[in-house]
Chain A
């Protein structure tokens, strides 16, 4: 039952862990949310900073239309309600990487409201995670602490870059679910082209909210919507990998249970994740974090968009992973799980489609997911730089489908395509190396006759144990140097041994 899944055993009884996530995703755009400075990564210090981003006196924000469009696009991709009227508020706090002394964000009226996404955990389990809201806001700059012993260096390149903050409902119930949600969200954003998902560049980071409660209390929360059934949550900031999300949840759940079972209580606080130790710790700098003095930004007008504009964006939406998954199941006959693995990465899904087009979908899927992905994983290669193109792999599968070669030989050819015969057409490789399957019944019958004649004991055995036929097939294959068509050999042997 969903409501009591993933129980954690404590000293004093069972606990449930509840996770919600606020994901900050950098909007893919040329320029910043409120200025014309570039939103690119990796420039020199304060190189991508306009006078607006540096909060020079008298500077004013003007919103980037494309960032608004991207937020709407993302909202649609999360099956969420688009609010035609939303508003920017100022969140006030002092910090050296916050040049204005406030962040322009959307507090009370976000551009996107409630939505929901499906998250696959494995072949059998899929969960639904509710989206609470999505809003647009400015990113802050960056303080660098290790360039001088007693000083911090501030670079405002990120200051003002557009972020989407995507807030989930507290619908995740384990480290596995939390990391799968984060990963699925990344997939959706990449499909939409609204965020590049480059976590090592900070394009996507999660604030992970974790709480624990006694077994059964989550169900009460779900029924009543009353958060008091849940435990006090901690928020671990800026978690920037799928693996770290998992570690944070595991660590925090364990820590909180320990604290509670020892008679302590959990503070609602902001924590930081230490990548090296895998632990979280209290963040010291947020001394008056709870009084942001939000109020509507008087430099901006309410953000109004038309239904027509939303409809136009909807009409142009690319196919999203869930739709693609369902199509792969329907059109190519794949299992839901295989399909979900393929659609995880749009480039991989595109590769598969190119291979599968006009061919046996299952065969294509098995070649792509097993052989090709296996190879790419082993060599840590991106699909876009695959040494075997989709067309080449398709041509190889054609040779299997028209029985020119067997699957086994195909693997041999695949190896050759990566090494000695790189870049060559599989058909030419098969030709040049004489790997063509022997389908000539005469030759196969002769080989079968030879094996039958030479092995009377085996012939006697096979009458009682029809499974011993495999031995004969193997022998004939050996005789033909592996090039025989196994189905044909099978049929001929059965007939000759009188097994039908």
Chain B
């Protein structure tokens, strides 16, 4: 039998409807491959019984002709999405044994469309990290290795479980979230496609909050088409999320065709960083050239505030997080470390329950909001953020899309960057602006570096410009023709 886990959503969809294989077979194949890949640590929990049950329902619906858009497609769910009756821990000890009695809107949308959930995927604790090393479940291992080495590499973060599971074929596609780059950077490091939609496009309801004004759910998938299919199901207005936008969801798959002829694509010169590997620069230029060959007009643009985006992010995100994570206090759910004094109970519980990176960010966030510092840090950051958003909006007056690298380096070894927090934060240098401005971005595989590790390119679009972004990404994907796969060393 052919390897069912090698198929894209598109291929599964046609195979299922042609009854070449059953949803149950596909699901079981994925469950098997996920079990075999435990070394990668992508899943924190598989839910085989649930999955098979759902697959059986899918098979019945396919049989009686009432198949839904994602009928029988096995997905992995980042463990930041609350799933009804299934433990959800956000990779944190503080949410020990937490079993939500509710389903997040995004996963509800996927279930509505017939998807099968294989289990919950690993991530950085509360999505705070760029390497998946802050997870209470331990790091995820990138299926990609440097040529001739067996050094364990990071799959990026925070959606490292999602990127690895997709890259290693442990699910057909995965949900993920992106607060500063947590979809696009891991996608780049694993040769997968990741979309961070416009803020408000996907509901945040039922997703464990990190930084409310920046968090946005999106898919990680094998290719641009699959990511468009996923986004179509995930997106939509939710009256329970006040920041969700009431705007019809187009069929993003239909937006793919059409090419980039006549599009104007900007190359922001400030994204050319000192000390960036030359291979990244070369791939970037190659990408621009390919788009130009397809008929796009390539222009250099300037975004002078780019370098301030990360410092702004490291004020705003921790500030919001320090408040969002105040609810983990040992009273209503999760871990409690007992003490007779209530405040001592809080202190002990939170010291024991949160990992070091989370604690660090909570302290930064608490400090920048505290009396006497609010204006100098938080207020100033929100003003600079406004300027950055305005700058982005104004550049999109002139161009349809921006083309940039997705990350400043290929996958790095575990532990290589975790000693200096600021060095780790720089991973998000290309992605974070879109979060601050609330605009969409997509990362897609662009090629391999000299060590055989994947690198990604990012396309950025104005708010609600997902369709033109996908059109650009699809054209670029076709032109690049990336088809490398990691060797299955973990089996």
The interface size of chain A toward B, counting residues with CB under 8 Å, comes to 32
The residues of B with any CB-CB pair to A shorter than 8 Å are 82, 88, 90, 95, 98, 100-102, 104, 204-209, 211-213, 239-243, 319-320, 322-323, 325-327, 329, 331-333, 340, 342-343, 346, 366, 369-371, 374, 378
Contact (Cβ within 8 A) B95 A57: yes
> CA of A59 to CA of B240 in the docked complex: distance in angstroms?
9
Contact (Cβ within 8 A) B329 A58: no
Other 10 A-B pairs with CB < 8 A, given A58-B104, A63-B242, A299-B243: A55-B332, A57-B95, A58-B102, A58-B206, A62-B240, A94-B329, A99-B332, A154-B331, A295-B369, A298-B320
Known: A57-B208, A99-B327, A154-B331. A301 touches B320 (CB 8 A): no
A31 within 8 A of B: no
**Within 8 Å CB of A102, what residues of B?**
323, 326
Contact (Cβ within 8 A) A293 B206: no
A499 within 8 A of B: no
Contact (Cβ within 8 A) A96 B212: no
Option from B82, B243, B332, B371 in Cβ contact (under 8 Å) with A58: B82
What are 18 A-B contacts with C-beta separation under 8 Å?
A55-B332, A56-B82, A57-B88, A58-B102, A59-B205, A60-B205, A60-B242, A62-B239, A94-B343, A96-B342, A99-B332, A101-B329, A287-B343, A293-B370, A295-B320, A299-B212, A299-B242, A300-B242
Contact (Cβ within 8 A) A58 B326: no
> CA of A300 to CA of B323 in the docked complex: distance in angstroms?
14
Option from A51, A55, A154 in Cβ contact (under 8 Å) with B102: A51
Interface residues of A in 283-301 (CB under 8 A from B): 287, 290-291, 293-295, 298-301
Q: Which residue of B lies closest to A100 (CB)?
A: B327
Option from B82, B343, B371 in Cβ contact (under 8 Å) with A290: B371
Q: Tell me the interface secondary structure of chain B in the complex.
A: loop
Contact (Cβ within 8 A) B369 A57: no
Contact (Cβ within 8 A) A291 B326: no
Most buried by A among B90, B208, B342: B342
**Within 8 Å CB of A96, what residues of B?**
329, 331, 342
Contact (Cβ within 8 A) B323 A295: yes
Most buried by B among A56, A290, A301: A56
A171 within 8 A of B: no
> CA of A154 to CA of B332 in the docked complex: distance in angstroms?
10
Q: Which residue of A lies closest to B316 (CB)?
A: A298
Contact (Cβ within 8 A) B342 A57: no
Option from A58, A101, A154 in Cβ contact (under 8 Å) with B323: A101
The residues of A with any CB-CB pair to B shorter than 8 Å are 51, 54-63, 90, 92, 94, 96, 99-102, 150, 152, 154, 287, 290-291, 293-295, 298-301
Option from A54, A58, A90, A298 in Cβ contact (under 8 Å) with B213: A298
Contact (Cβ within 8 A) A90 B323: yes
Contact (Cβ within 8 A) A150 B323: no
Ranked 6 nearest A-B pairs via Cβ: A101-B326, A298-B212, A293-B369, A298-B213, A58-B206, A55-B327
> CA of A382 to CA of B104 in the docked complex: distance in angstroms?
50
Option from B205, B243, B319 in Cβ contact (under 8 Å) with A301: B243
**Within 8 Å CB of B100, what residues of A?**
56-58
Q: Which residue of A lies closest to B238 (CB)?
A: A60
> CA of A92 to CA of B241 in the docked complex: distance in angstroms?
21
Nearest-Cβ distance from residue B84 to partner chain A, whole angstroms: 11
Most buried by B among A58, A92, A100, A154: A58
**Within 8 Å CB of A150, what residues of B?**
340
> CA of A301 to CA of B366 in the docked complex: distance in angstroms?
22
Known: A291-B371, A295-B369, A298-B213. A56 touches B333 (CB 8 A): yes
Option from B101, B242, B332, B346 in Cβ contact (under 8 Å) with A61: B242
Contact (Cβ within 8 A) B90 A57: yes
**Within 8 Å CB of A298, what residues of B?**
211-213, 243, 320
Most buried by A among B323, B325, B329, B370: B323
> CA of A115 to CA of B161 in the docked complex: distance in angstroms?
56
**Within 8 Å CB of B369, what residues of A?**
92, 293-295
Known: A291-B371, A298-B212, A299-B212. A92 touches B323 (CB 8 A): yes
Contact (Cβ within 8 A) A295 B374: yes
> CA of A92 to CA of B242 in the docked complex: distance in angstroms?
21
Q: Which residue of A lies closest to B331 (CB)?
A: A96
Q: Which residue of B lies closest to A156 (CB)?
A: B332
> CA of A204 to CA of B342 in the docked complex: distance in angstroms?
28
Option from B101, B104, B240, B346 in Cβ contact (under 8 Å) with A94: B346
Q: Which residue of B lies closest to A92 (CB)?
A: B323
Contact (Cβ within 8 A) A58 B242: no
Nearest-Cβ distance from residue B334 to partner chain A, whole angstroms: 9
> CA of A76 to CA of B96 in the docked complex: distance in angstroms?
49
